[in-house]
Amino acid sequence: MGNKILGWLQIISGVALLALQVYLIFAGDYESTTDLLELMITGLIGIVFVTMGASGIKEA
C-alpha cells in the first residue's frame, strides 16, 4: 500500500516538474543557454520521477 502512495506522489511531482519546465520555456524566462540546460535537466528529473512512480505502482 505504501509503495502505491509513494508511486503516485512521485508521478504527481514529476508531472509538476515537467509542467513547470514547459511553462518556463514558453514564457521565455531564461537568459542564456545555461538556464535552458538547467530547465532540460529539471525536465529529465521529472521524467525519472514519473518512471519511478509508475514502476512502484506496477510492483505494488
pLDDT for 29: 66
pLDDT for 21: 82
Q: What is the DSSP letter of 32?
A: S
Amino acid found at 26: F
Distance separating alpha carbons of residues 8 and 11, to the nearest angstrom:
5
pLDDT for 56: 83
pLDDT for 34: 78
pLDDT in tens, 4-59: 888 899 999 989 988 888 888 788 766 777 777 887 888 888 889 899 888 888 87
